[in-house]
Amino acid sequence: MQLVIDIGNTLIKSYVFEKDNLLHSKVDSNQNWNTSLEQLLHSYSGIQKAIVSDVHKKYSEELDEFLKQIEVSYCSTALKLPFTTQYEPKIQLGSDRIALLASCCLFYPNKDVLVIDLGSCITYDWIDSEGVHQGGAISPGFGMRFKSMHDYSGRLPHLDFKKTDDPVGTSTESAINSGVYFGILNEIEGVIAWHENKIKNLTVILTGGDAERLPKPFKNSIFAHSNFLAKGLNFILALNTFS
């Protein structure tokens, strides 16, 4: 058995795999992850290897203590990967993006793929049919846009996402909602259109916790498989264990 840990900006997700089969998954806040992980390790005592994606780079010491009986790899470009990248310097390519690109290689080999991950940030990454990551983009996600308008203005309120069908707001609250929602929508449409003008037979994958906030027309694109990032991490672990 192998353990996969995905540490994001607000949540820590843990998965137990038996080769390619997912046996267990758990989502915790960044505040109580250690108790949950201790219980998981007790329940699955046969875990021998683990891979960790940590966008913060601040949990390594605690995790090493928890996982001291397990061989642990931290996802980075230092590992053997199923793709090459044009990113420079390579070390700055985030572990979450690495995992998503690996999952693209696993599920969509020999295809041009644009993977869009909607989380705290929105990331765009293009991997071509030769398995070369051509690069991508990073922009603020839903929560970050709401928070920044509040933090960097004198009077704008801090709002949570509320679905809107009208790009013309008739109050401060509805104007903020419209600005964030349609700003993201138009951004994504523009990025997809740019890639489709450049690439024939482009496969577009939408993943991340906020992907379901997008409207139905986007569902003509491919919404990613369940646990898409985790399966990418598990794939990387296998490449560095069995090859």
pLDDT of residue 242: 66
Q: Are 85 and 126 in contact (CB under 8 A)?
A: no
Q: Are 218 and 206 in contact (CB under 8 A)?
A: yes
In a domain, 237, yes or no: no
In a domain, 70, yes or no: yes
pLDDT of residue 233: 98
Known catalytic residue: 96? yes
Mean pLDDT of 99-118: 97
- Last residue within a domain, chosen from 74, 102, 119: 74
pLDDT of residue 221: 77
Mean pLDDT of 42-61: 87
What is this structure's pTM?
A: 0.94
Tell me the CATH number at 68.
3.30.420.40
pLDDT digits (tens, 9 = 90+) for 128-166: 999 999 999 999 999 999 999 999 998 999 999 998 999
- Last residue within a domain, chosen from 20, 40, 74: 74
Instruction: Considering only CA atoms, give the Rg of the chain.
Output: 19
**What is the Cα–Cα distance from 115 to 205, expressed in whole angstroms?**
5
Of 6, 54, 96, 112, the active-site residue reads 96
The residue segments making up the domain with residue 41 are 2-74
Among the listed residues 4, 197, 185, the one whose alpha carbon sits nearest the alpha carbon of residue 114 = 197
Residues 97 and 133 in one domain: yes
pLDDT of residue 105: 98
Residues 101 and 124 in one domain: yes
Number of structural domains the chain divides into = 2
In a domain, 133, yes or no: yes
Above 60 in pLDDT, residue 232? yes
Mean pLDDT of 95-113: 97
